Structure 1
Amino acid sequence: MAMGIWFDANGWPVPPVVLLICLVGETLYLRGWSVIVNREQVRDAGSRAGEPWPAWLWRGAFFTAAIFTFLLAASAPIDTLSASLFWVHMVQHLLLLVVMAPLLVAGAPLLPLWWGLPRALRAWLQVLARWPLGRAVARLGYWLRQPAISCGLLLAGIWIWHWPTLYDLALTNDLIHDWCEHLIFIAVSVLFWTQIIPSPPLRSRASYLGKMGCIGVAIAQNVVLAILIGFAPHPIYAPYAHMVQWPGGLSALQDQQFGAGIMWTFGDVPFGVAFSVLLQRWLILHTDDIGTNVALGEH
């Protein structure tokens, strides 16, 4: 039984494809990260705008933490138990949506991954970017990164995949579950967090109030969805409701309520932390502005 929990059907603690993706990503990131740090170290950070090189030490740590979170979410114990326990499945989703995604954005992966690529591949991608298809992709990316669009896509991605029909389909089809549902969760959450967390070369297109508004909407939808799931009078996801026996002595309804509670509490923590930081910075900014105006008025 232990082997069935700690290893998948092929004897791997994490699927080989996931391990390969993480290994390639971490290798490219560290290769490009070292280039950036070396360049920043030889420049006089005080003579130009931009981040001092020690900031990239934190970004490297954030990216590595995001990779480990992804490995944890895809690990055999969580993946195996999520098939029989709704609350474990909810933990898996939250690891992707509100832990891995903000850590990945904080790691600012675009620049390190770019400089980590071979020079010939970078040159080819630069040529491709000038083609009509490349320009169309750039325009699409610019459109998707509008604050309202980013926020709306996060809500749509979460709610659509918690609709019982699609949720049940993902539970009964590993391909849809791993490469459709989870990839959409990662994509929409990363897009959302790029509006909140600085991630060079991307810049947030929302003001402090706009960022706090996006977070407020994200918290509200999370609470509403958790209430709908937690206070449902019966199990709403067929694969869990039809189980003959539930691990841990939980009934299907209790399992569902427990998962909704995790969603309501743990799922709001990263949003709450981000909101608090943004509120503090907004208050400091406006306090400084008020002090400056008072000082000018005295003269």
Structure 2
Amino acid sequence: MDLLRAPWVLATIVVSAVWYWRGSQRPSLRAVGTGSRRRVAPWRGLCFAAGLAAVLVALDSPVERLADDWVWAHMLQHVLLMMIAAPLLVLGAPWMPFWRPLPLGLRRRIARALVKSPFFSWLRYVASLVVTPVGAWLLFDVNLAVWHVPALYDLTLRNTGVHYAEHISFVLLGLLFWSQVLDSPSFHPRLSAFGRVIYTAAGSTASWLLAIVLTIATTPLYPAQSAGHKGGLSPLGDQQLAAGVMLGPGSIPYAIVVFYWLYVWLGADDPDGGLRRRVAPRRSALGTGAR
């Protein structure tokens, strides 16, 4: 069974879902996105569940089996992890639900160590560099580009550990990237609505350039994977279909976010808001909740 091909993936998803549910049910937790003293807003829970489902489809379904032989399926995995699962998980606002179930004493010790301990000064310094719009964007795009260098791409096919590292980096840096444009309490982006438009459009640069390279290439870029073809598409046809996956499904999340924040920036739903209004006064599904 494909669902048993990578049991650790299914186990991780189940544990994450249970932990999120437990943390979101605590009566003291203010509703994320509503401002009332309720549990986590239901729509955020649905987003988190959908994000976990996208991870499951990418890593523990027939897609994972097909990705061993086909570039287009491998590319579909990357789209599911970076452009589907990551933004959905961010919208699910899992930070507080994951934090709350820990014992209070442990939470205090962890927080004190992270904030004050000299041992973690390096971590605070790194965070100050990467947990920013520019840092997150660079890591997100460079990570995508580097993993598609032919030598490293072929290595992921031969080495399971490297392959897992690739997928983990896609999810983690995807969370970092999308948290800069999607409100995910208790973290809120510092960018204005128009800044989020520019940032999201810039974030799609690497995927578009990769798709162009795959489209115009006259020889297979990933010979190790081409050798596994058992019929059907030619290696070049496989690459071109992979480019289509990146340009088609891979562009949809970017487009949704760009057009949404462009709509907010133009003040289409608030004629008195002006063209330069910032995001903070307004709440939304892509912001912090329903208005």
Q: Same fold (TM over 0.5)?
A: yes
The DSSP-based 3-state class of the residue aligned with 2:257 is helix
1:132 corresponding residue in structure 2 = 118
Distance 2:271 2:4 in 1: 52
Quick check: 2:10–2:56 contact (8 Å CA) kept in 1?
yes
Partner amino acid, structure 2, of 1:284: G
Match of 1:137, SS state, is helix
Q: 157, 162, 175: which one pairs with 1:176?
A: 162
Equivalent runs, 1:84-163 vs 2, <5 Å: 84-129=69-114, 130-163=116-149
Matched, 1:82 2:64: no
Distance 1:250 1:193, change over 3 A: same
**CA apart distance, 1:51:** 2.9
Q: CA deviation at 1:38?
A: 5.3
- The answer as to whether partners of 2:156 and 2:163 remain within 8 angstroms in 1 is yes
Alignment partner of 1:240 is 2:225: yes
Range 12-21 or range 57-66, more displaced:
12-21
Can you list the C-alpha shifts for 1:148-195, whole angstroms capped at 9, x where unaligned? 1111111101000011111111111111001x1111111211111001
Return the alpha-carbon distance in structure 1 between the equivalents of residues 90 and 253 of structure 2.
13
Letter in 2 for 1:271: Y
Provide the C-alpha distance between the structure 1 equivalents of 2:205 and 2:272, rounded to a whole number of angstroms: 31
Deviation of the 1:105 alpha carbon: 0.4
Residue 266 of structure 2: aligned partner: 283
1:263 aligns with 2:253: no
> Relative to 1, partners in 2 of residues 1:242 and 1:218: Cα closer, same or farther, differing over 3 Å?
same
Partners of 1:39 and 1:266 lie apart in 2 by 36
Q: CA deviation at 1:84?
A: 0.5
In structure 2, what is the Cα distance between the partners aligned to 1:194 and 1:26?
20
Structure with the largest fraction of helix: 1
Match of 1:296 in 2: none
Contact kept? 2:142, 2:206, Cα under 8 Å? no
Give TM-score, length-normalised by structure 1.
0.83
For 2:16 and 2:104, locate their aligned partners in 1 and report how far apart those are by CA, in whole Å.
Answer: 17
1:70, CA displacement in angstroms?
1.0
Q: CA RMSD, aligned part only?
A: 2.3
How has the CA–CA distance of structure 1 residues 201 and 138 changed in structure 2, closer, same or farther, with 3 Å as cutoff? farther
Count of residues paired in the alignment: 272
User: Are positions 1:32 and 2:23 aligned together?
Assistant: yes
The structure that has the greater radius of gyration is 1
C-alpha distance 236-134 of structure 1, shift in aligned 2 (>3 A) = same
Residues in 2 aligned to 1:202 and 1:139: alpha-carbon distance in whole angstroms: 19
More deviation in 165-174 or 219-228? Answer: 219-228
Structure 2 alignment gaps of length 5 or more: 276-291
Task: Answer yes or no: is the 8 Å Cα contact 1:30–1:116 preserved in 2.
Answer: no
User: How far has the Cα of 1:39 moved from its partner?
Assistant: 4.3
> For residues 56 and 284 of structure 1, what CA distance do their matches in structure 2 show?
26
Helix, strand or coil for the counterpart of 1:116? coil
Contact 1:168 1:239 survives alignment (8 Å): yes
Distance 1:74 1:272 in 2: 25
Cα separation, partners in 2 of 1:142 and 1:50, compared to 1, 3 Å: farther
Residues 203-214 of structure 1 aligned to structure 2 (within 5 Å)? 203-214=188-199
Deviations 1:236-265 (A, max 9, x none): 00212333x434x11111111111111111
CA spacing shift, 1:279–1:55, aligned 2, 3 Å: farther
CA distance in 2, matches of 1:149, 1:39: 31
Give 2:256's match in structure 1, choosing from 269, 273, 277. Answer: 273
For 1:295, the equivalent position in structure 2 comes to none
Give per-residue Cα distances to partners, 1:189-221, cap 9 Å, x unaligned: 111100110011112122222211111112333
